Every structure is written in C-alpha cells, then in structure tokens.
C-alpha cells in the first residue's frame, strides 16, 4: 500500500521497511501494521488536533507534568509554540504510560519508540498469529467471561498501583490474544493522584468492563469492584495482590433533621442579633 506521509520519514531512516495495511482509523490515531526487519509491528500515527474527534479535554490534561517551565508557560498562553508542545505532551503521554504499565506487569502492547507522532509498538496477535480481535468483536462463554473479567480487574488494580487510570476503558479498547485481554489506547490516561477526576474516570472504566462481561456472566453485574478498589487505594491498602471480594458497603449516616433545623434557626437568630446590635451602635454615633 501507499506509505502514509507521517510514516515516510521513518522509512527513509530505515526504522520501517514497509507498510502492510491499515488496521483501523480511530478518533485520535490511525493504526497500521508495518514491517521492521523480519518482524511485523504496529505503527500508531497520531492525528493532528484539528482532525481528532476526541479533543484534549481539560479533565484529561489535569495533573500532567511538563518538565520545561518555558513549555508549560507557552501551553498556558496557547501560542503556536505552546500548541505544538501540547500536541507532543498528548502523544508522549501514551508512550510513557505504556512503558510504565509494561514494567508494572500490566498486559499492554510493548512500546518501542515514538518519533514525530508515530508510535512503534508490539503487534498483538491471536493464537494463529492473526491480528488480535477487540473484545467488542468476540462472544464468550460464561466460564471464559469470568476468567477474563478477573484478569482485567487484576490488571486494572496493577494500573492503579502504578498511579494510572485509563480514562476511556471499554470493550473497544481491549484486545484478546491467546493469553487473554490486552489493554490498549492510552493517550488520555490520567495520574490517579494528581487528577481530581480520576476517581469518577476509574469508576466509569471498571463499570464499562463489568457491563461488557456481565452480558455473558450476569452475576458479575452485582459486583462493586470500582468502589472497593478505590477505597483500598485511598486508604493506602491497595497492592497488585490485594484480595478482592467485589463487595462494598457505603457508610450511611442517619441525619437528625430536627436537630439540623434547630441549628439553622439558631444560626439565623444569631445573625440577626448581630445585625441589630451593629445597627444600634451606628445609631449611637449619629
């Protein structure tokens, strides 16, 4: 096939020998299979900001560190240079997350390098060596669904222990290879400790995965792993091997409405007493 313009420089430099086919065109990138020596790899070509349907929402960028203060100021001002730096930060976020998660034992594609908006990484394949399907394209029996769900939950725990929340996890961002699920697409990954939206994103990620596997194993829909895992994380008790139950009971506090109303009335009375006293003092000096 014709070599895409963004990949041509890597071909010229000898990093890629040939482009075999386009695997998908997504909301933030196009993905191709490429030949590198005698190995078939995956090349993810990030789209420009004007072409992406998935925008760099503020809630995803929150908490991302920019080491160079000059770059950080330019990004805040929104200058041409700043927008370019913002693009690079957005693209390298996935690379950094992939390396970090791979080192933490999370099942993700092994990243190799990212040059000028092109990420080279492992091609995830099935048992026959074909490109691995997405979860959204497979049907599971109940036993397989439960086994893969447990694998996903354990990988999500490892991600959180590594300080990362996927932020857009669903059956469309997971591949199924011969050993089970593999998590992909992480440019919007957020810092669990530094992003104020991390908890809600984490809960959405886990609930999406639960709903998918719950199609094949309905009893999974009764689990509450998102709440349980996040509570352990906040308490500093979460490790990659922490036993989980899927159960979570939220603390419920009874509210004494009569006492609450009495407190409100008392506060109002005190406020008006202060207002009257201040008015009387002002009148004395007139």
List Cβ<8 Å contacts ≥24 apart for 68-74.
none
The terminus-to-terminus CA distance of the chain in angstroms comes to 91
Give the CA dihedral 227, 139, 174, 219, nearest 10 degrees.
Answer: 10
Q: Which among 13, 116, 148, 168 is annotated as catalytic?
A: 168
Between CA 99 and CA 197, with CA 210 as vertex, the angle to 5 degrees is 60
Q: What's the chain's Rg over C-alpha atoms?
A: 26
Active site residue 168: yes
CB of 228 closer than 8 Å to CB of 247: yes
Q: How many other CB atoms sit within 10 Å of the CB of residue 146?
A: 16
Q: Which among 30, 148, 185, 205 is annotated as catalytic?
A: 185
3-state class of 24 per DSSP?
strand
Residues 154, 25: Cα–Cα separation, whole Å: 29
Q: Work out whether strand 111-115 and strand 118-121 pair parallel, antiparallel, or are unpaired.
A: antiparallel
Crossing angle of the two packed helices 69-77 and 80-103, in degrees rounded to 10: 120
User: Which stretch of DSSP H or E encloses residue 181?
Assistant: strand 180-183
The residues that are catalytic are: 168, 185
């Amino acid at each position: 096939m014709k070599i895409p313009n963004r990949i041509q420089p890597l071909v010229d430099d000898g990093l890629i020998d040939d482009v075999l086919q386009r695997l998908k065109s997504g909301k933030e990138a196009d993905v191709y299979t490429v030949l590198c020596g005698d190995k078939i790899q995956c090349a993810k070509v990030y789209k420009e900001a004007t072409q992406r349907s998935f925008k760099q929402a503020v809630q995803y960028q929150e908490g991302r560190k920019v080491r160079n203060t000059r770059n950080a100021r330019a990004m805040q001002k929104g200058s041409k240079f700043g927008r370019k730096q913002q693009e690079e930060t957005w693209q390298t976020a996935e690379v950094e997350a992939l390396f970090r998660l791979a080192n933490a034992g999370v099942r993700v594609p092994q990243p190799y390098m990212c040059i000028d908006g092109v990420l080279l990484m492992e091609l995830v394949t099935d048992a026959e060596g074909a490109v691995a399907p997405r979860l959204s394209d497979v049907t599971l029996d109940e036993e397989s669904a439960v086994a893969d769900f447990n694998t996903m939950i354990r990988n999500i725990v490892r991600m959180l222990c590594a300080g990362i929340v996927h932020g857009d996890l669903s059956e469309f961002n997971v591949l199924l290879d011969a050993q089970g699920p593999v998590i992909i697409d992480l440019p919007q990954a957020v810092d669990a400790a530094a992003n104020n939206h991390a908890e809600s994103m984490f809960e959405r990620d886990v609930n999406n995965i639960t709903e998918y596997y719950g199609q094949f194993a309905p009893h999974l829909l009764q689990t509450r792993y998102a709440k349980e895992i996040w509570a352990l994380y906040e308490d500093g008790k979460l490790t990659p091997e922490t036993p989980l139950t899927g159960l979570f009971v939220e603390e419920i506090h009874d509210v004494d409405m009569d006492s609450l109303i009495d407190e409100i009335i008392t506060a109002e009375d005190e406020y008006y007493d202060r207002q009257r006293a201040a008015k009387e003092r002002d009148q004395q000096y007139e």
